[in-house]
Chains A and B, each alone.
Chain A
Amino acid sequence: MRAVDAVMECLKAEGVDVVFGLPGGANLPTYDAFVDGGIRHILVRHEAGGGHAAQGYAKATGKVGVAFATSGPGATNLITPICDAMMDSVPVVFITGQVRTELLGTDGFQEADTIGITMPIVKHSFMIQNPLEIPRAIHEAFHIARSGRPGPVLVDIPQDLSRADIPYEPVSDVRLPGYQPTLEGNQKQIRQAAKALASAQRPVIYAGGGVVNANASEELIEFARSDRFPVTTTLMGLGAYPAQVDGTADPQWLGMLGMHGTRAANYAMDEADLICAVGARFDDRVTGKLSEFAPRAKFIHIDVDPAEISKNVPAHIPIVGDAKHVLAKLVVEYRALSADPARLAQWWERIEGWREKYPLGYEDSADSEIKPQYMVQALYEATGGQAIVTSDVGQHQMWAAQYYDFPAPRRWINSGGLGTMGFGLPAAMGAAVGCPDQLVCCIAGDGSVQMNAQELATCAQEQIPIKVFIMNNGYLGMVRQWQELFWDGRYSHVDTGKFPDWVKLAEAYGATGMRFEDKGTLVEDMKRAIATDGPVVVDVKVTREENTYPMIPAGQAAREMVG
Chain B
Amino acid sequence: MGEPATKEPLSLEELQASGNLRTGRKHVLSILVENKSGVLTRIAGLFARRGFNIDTLTVGPTDDERISRVTLTVDGALHPIDQVTKQLHKLINVLKIRDLEPADTVSRELALFKISADGPQRGELMQITEIFRGKVVDVTKRSIIVEVTGTTEKIEAFESMVRPFGLIEMMRTGEIAIARGRGET
Which residues of A are at the interface with B, using a C-beta cutoff of 8 A? 115-116, 119-120, 123-124, 127, 129, 144, 176-179, 188-189, 191-192, 195-196, 198-200, 273-274, 298-299, 305-307, 309-311, 314-318, 336-337, 339
Residue of A at shortest CB range from B15?
A316
A178-B91, A310-B20, A337-B7 given; 8 more Cβ-contact pairs under 8 Å: A120-B49, A191-B5, A192-B10, A298-B12, A305-B90, A306-B86, A307-B83, A318-B18
Contacts of A309 in B (CB 8 A): 19
Q: How far is the CB of A316 from chain B (nearest CB, A)?
A: 4
Contacts of A179 in B (CB 8 A): 92
Residue of B at shortest CB range from A312?
B20
Choose from A124, A176, A316 the contact partner of B16 (Cβ within 8 Å).
A316
CB contact list, B1-58 vs A, under 8 A: 2, 4-5, 7-12, 15-20, 33-34, 37-38, 41-42, 45, 49
Choose from A123, A188, A337 the contact partner of B9 (Cβ within 8 Å).
A337
Could you jot down 28 A-B contacts, CB within 8 Å? A116-B41, A123-B92, A124-B92, A127-B37, A127-B38, A178-B33, A178-B34, A178-B92, A179-B92, A192-B10, A195-B4, A195-B9, A195-B10, A196-B9, A196-B10, A198-B9, A199-B12, A200-B12, A298-B15, A310-B18, A314-B17, A314-B20, A315-B17, A315-B18, A317-B15, A318-B19, A337-B9, A339-B9
Q: How far is the CB of B85 from chain A (nearest CB, A)?
A: 9
Contacts of B49 in A (CB 8 A): 120
CB-based A-B contact count at 8 angstroms: 89
Contacts of B2 in A (CB 8 A): 192, 195
Cβ of A314 and Cβ of B19 under 8 Å apart? Answer: yes
Contacts of B163 in A (CB 8 A): none
CA of A307 to CA of B88, assembled, Å: 9
Contacts of B15 in A (CB 8 A): 196, 298, 316-317
Q: Is B129 an interface residue (CB 8 A)?
A: no
Q: Is B143 an interface residue (CB 8 A)?
A: no
Contacts of B20 in A (CB 8 A): 310, 314
Choose from A124, A192, A195, A316 the contact partner of B17 (Cβ within 8 Å).
A316
Q: Is B95 an interface residue (CB 8 A)?
A: yes
- What is the predominant secondary structure among interface residues of chain A facing chain B? mixed
Residue of A at shortest CB range from B42?
A119
Q: Is B87 an interface residue (CB 8 A)?
A: yes
Cβ of B38 and Cβ of A115 under 8 Å apart? Answer: yes
Choose from B17, B86, B95 the contact partner of A299 (Cβ within 8 Å).
B17
Residue of A at shortest CB range from B9?
A199
Contacts of A336 in B (CB 8 A): 7
Q: Is B93 an interface residue (CB 8 A)?
A: yes
Q: How far is the CB of A277 from chain B (nearest CB, A)?
A: 13
Q: Is B94 an interface residue (CB 8 A)?
A: yes
Q: Is B82 an interface residue (CB 8 A)?
A: yes
A-B CB proximity, top 7 nearest? A310-B19, A199-B9, A314-B17, A195-B10, A307-B86, A316-B15, A188-B4
CA of A452 to CA of B113, assembled, Å: 60
Contacts of B16 in A (CB 8 A): 316
Cβ of A199 and Cβ of B45 under 8 Å apart? Answer: no
Contacts of A144 in B (CB 8 A): 92
Q: Is B180 an interface residue (CB 8 A)?
A: no
Contacts of B10 in A (CB 8 A): 192, 195-196, 198-199
Q: Is B89 an interface residue (CB 8 A)?
A: yes
CA of A274 to CA of B9, assembled, Å: 13
Cβ of B94 and Cβ of A178 under 8 Å apart? Answer: yes
Contacts of A188 in B (CB 8 A): 4-5
Choose from A119, A124, A127 the contact partner of B45 (Cβ within 8 Å).
A119
Contacts of B19 in A (CB 8 A): 309-311, 314-315, 318
Q: How far is the CB of A431 from chain B (nearest CB, A)?
A: 28
Cβ of A119 and Cβ of B18 under 8 Å apart? Answer: no
Residue of B at shortest CB range from A309?
B19
